[in-house]
Amino acid sequence: MHFFCRCGSKNMTSDVVSPTTKSEKSVSATQQPSSSSRRTSKSNQSPRSSSFVSSVLHASTSTENDNNNSYNKDSWKSSVSSHSSLSSLRNSLPENPHLYDFKEIFTATNKFTNKKHSTSSSSTAWRCVIRGDDVIVFQRKLRRIISENELRERLLVICRSHHSSLIKLKGASMSGSYIYLVYDYVKGLTLSECLTNPKNPSFTILSTWMSRIQVAADLTHGIDYIHNSTGLEKKFIHNHIKSTSIIITESDSLPGSFNVKICHFGTAELCGETDKLSETKFEGTRGYMSPEYQTTGVPSDKSDVYAFGVVILELLSGQEALKYERDSSGNYIRVSVIETVNEAVKGGYLRTWIDRRLKDSYPEEVVEKLVRLAVECLDEDPGKRPDMRWIAGRVSKMYLESDVDVTLMCVCLLGNGNVVDLIGKRIMRLVG
């Protein structure tokens, strides 16, 4: 494995939902509120021992033939012990989502005159305080009008899901043809903001390879959980995966590292976007929509995989998914990150396509593997795209391969010190 390194040293209706009484007050995170703890209980976690570290490092440096084998989901669980035990446990928990009265939303946003937190063609968001919680309220158009009972049933399912990479949905309200989704407020920057800084294009907080591969690993496990591991006997589709829907926050457990928080989990289900029979024209974000989604308007797990592939290309190159630039004649032309990576691969200049702000300090072979994986996710035939469970295994191995190289370099520069402990912390963060 080669390691490049340049070292210098709205209508209101009278039929509103009545608020429910909280069974337990949700805990809002200060630095990063919203997500509950990930994965299995402490009693099921692997011990942080040198033998465990050695065995995982041995697996991560196996031959290419081993890397091409299907990943063992029992060894690399994203977040779930077993569907049966997890389902029974969650069904017994008093997870009562809030059916907010529309008047609460109306009042908390000061009649929707508060400064908008964000806005797009499909949603508007306000940050406010509701029932003592710091939250973000998203206003979206319902693709199909649903009853209060149906909303309650969908919320009961979605709000039982827990993963540290997902921003927690607290509840919802409806008024007319609009739904108001209430999520925990999360302090951080979007991935798009981290990668593109118009005021200082040469700067990014994701300036190291380990920060990028950590983002890729967290994102992968979060989407894998949505598709496969909620333990609720139902597979979800996200349908809003893009760099502006991914929040990057600083890690509490590992200084200098970052965590990923995925926005809008449950939005597709609650807004009727996953329903095949919808009454309104579908909306999507240009640059992230798979060919079949553009044709049918029906999202799937494979359209999520396609959008994930685009985000990984953004993460690797620092480029936007889609932008317009002036050509030599002064005309505007559309530039897609998918087109630029295909040209780089065919032309043999992949190194110059990778974000220059990484300063060539990355494991070349790992980067090439991740590029190939992202391109596989973008296959025009959805049946040929990999599923997120398999992707999660591949990215986990890439993470460990990267950490081995980075750690070895640190040993050479700084001495071995607490290298085993450092690797152990990274591994436990990834798998437990």
Residue 32 pLDDT > 70: no
Q: What is the DSSP string of 221-248?
A: HHHHHHHH-SSSS--------SGGGEEE
Mean local confidence (pLDDT), 64-73: 43
Residue 404 pLDDT > 60: yes
Structure tokens at 80: 């779930």
Residue 18 pLDDT > 70: no
Mean local confidence (pLDDT), 179-194: 96
Residue 255 pLDDT > 90: no
Residue 387 CB-density burial (10 A; 0-12 exposed, 13-18 middle, 19+ buried): middle
What is the per-residue pLDDT across 259-273, written as a single tens digit (0 to 9) for each? 999 999 999 999 988
What single letter denotes the amino acid at residue 187?
A: K
The bridge status of strand 169-175 relative to strand 98-99 is parallel
Residue 53 pLDDT > 50: no
Residue 192 pLDDT > 50: yes
Q: CB–CB of 431/46 below 8 Å?
A: yes
Q: CB–CB of 12/106 below 8 Å?
A: yes
Residue 122 pLDDT > 80: yes
Q: CB–CB of 204/315 below 8 Å?
A: no
For 163, residues 6+ apart whose C-beta sits below 8 A from its C-beta are 35, 36, 38, 78, 79, 221, 222, 225, 226
Mean local confidence (pLDDT), 403-420: 55
For 299, residues 6+ apart whose C-beta sits below 8 A from its C-beta are 237, 239, 268, 273, 274, 293
Structure tokens at 366: 């790992």
The residue with tokens 């977040």 is 79
Tell me the pLDDT band of 373, cut-offs 50, 70 and 90.
very high
Residue 27 pLDDT > 80: no
What is the per-residue pLDDT across 339-348, written as a single tens digit (0 to 9) for each? 999 999 999 9
Residue 12's pLDDT is what? 37
Mean pLDDT of the chain: 78
What is the per-residue pLDDT across 195-224, written as a single tens digit (0 to 9) for each? 998 889 999 999 999 999 999 999 999 999
Question: What gap in Å lies between CA 89 and CA 390, rounded to an integer?
Answer: 27
Reported in sequence order, the residue ranges of 290-430 that DSSP labels E, i.e. its strands, are: 322-326, 332-336, 362-363
Structure tokens at 128: 């406010």
Residue 8 pLDDT > 50: no
Residue 13 pLDDT > 90: no
Tell me the pLDDT band of 50, cut-offs 50, 70 and 90.
very low
For 387, residues 6+ apart whose C-beta sits below 8 A from its C-beta are 227, 228, 301, 305
Structure tokens at 45: 């976690």
Q: Which of helix, strand or coil describes residue 66?
A: helix
For 31, residues 6+ apart whose C-beta sits below 8 A from its C-beta are 187, 249, 250, 252
Residue 38 pLDDT > 80: no
Q: Closest by alpha carbon to 364, among 304, 405, 421, 395?
A: 405
What is the per-residue pLDDT across 292-341, written as a single tens digit (0 to 9) for each? 999 988 899 999 999 999 999 999 999 999 998 888 888 889 999 999 99
Q: CB–CB of 172/266 below 8 Å?
A: no
pLDDT above 70: percentage of residues in the chain? 69
What is the per-residue pLDDT across 128-185, written as a single tens digit (0 to 9) for each? 999 999 999 999 999 888 888 999 988 988 888 889 999 999 999 999 999 999 999 9
Q: Where are the alpha helices (DSSP H) in 38-78?
A: 50-60, 64-68
For 264, residues 6+ apart whose C-beta sits below 8 A from its C-beta are 138, 167, 238, 240, 245
Residue 428 pLDDT > 60: no
Question: What gap in Å lies between CA 267 and CA 221, rounded to an integer?
Answer: 19
Residue 405's pLDDT is what? 55
Residue 392 pLDDT > 90: yes
Domains of the chain in sequence order = 98-428 (1.10.510.10)
Residue 56 pLDDT > 80: no
Q: CB–CB of 396/76 below 8 Å?
A: yes
CA distances from 186 to 237, 260, 304 (A): 22, 11, 23
Mean local confidence (pLDDT), 14-43: 39
